[in-house]
Amino acid sequence: MPRHDEVSVFSVFPWLAPVKDEQMPRHIKNATLAGLREEADAKIRSTVESIIADVAKRGDAAVREMSERFDKWSPPRFRLSRDEIEVLVAKVAPQTIADIKFAQAQIRNFAEIQRASLRDVEVETLPGVVLGHRHIPVGNVGCYVPGGRYPMVASAHMSIVTARVAGVGHITACTPPNQGGPHPETIAAMHLGGADEIYVLGGVQAVAAMALGTVTFKPVDMLVGPGNAYVAEAKRQLYGRVGIDLFAGPTEILVIADDTADAEMCATDLLGQAEHGPTSPAVLLTTSEKLAHATIAEVDRQLTVLPTADVAGVAWRDFGEVILCGSEDEMIAEADRIAAEHVEVLTREPRRYLDCLKNYGALFLGPETNVSYGDKVIGTNHTLPTRGAARYTGGLWVGKFLKTCTYQEVRTPEASATIGEYCSRLCAIERFWGHKEQADLRVRRYRRNAAE
Point out the residues that are catalytic.
341-342
* Three-state SS annotation for the chain: CCCCCCCCHHHCCHHHCCCCCCCCCEEEECCCCCCCHHHHHHHHHHHHHHHHHHHHHHCHHHHHHHHHHHHCCCCCCCECCHHHHHHHHHCCCHHHHHHHHHHHHHHHHHHHHHHHCCCCEEEEEECCEEEEEEEEECCEEEEECCCCCCCCHHHHHHHHHHHHHHCCCEEEEEECCECCECCHHHHHHHHHHCCCEEEECCHHHHHHHHHHCCCCCCCCCEEECCCCHHHHHHHHHHECCEEECCCCCCCCEEEEECCCCCHHHHHHHHHHHHCCCCCCCEEEEECCHHHHHHHHHHHHHHCCCCCCHHHHHHHHHHHEEEEECCCHHHHHHHHHHHCCCEEEEECCCCHHHHHHCCCCCEEEECCCCCHHHHHHCCCCCCCCCCCCHHHCCCCCCHHHHEEEEEEEEECCHHHHHHHHHHHHHHHHHHCCHHHHHHHHHHHHHHHHHHHC
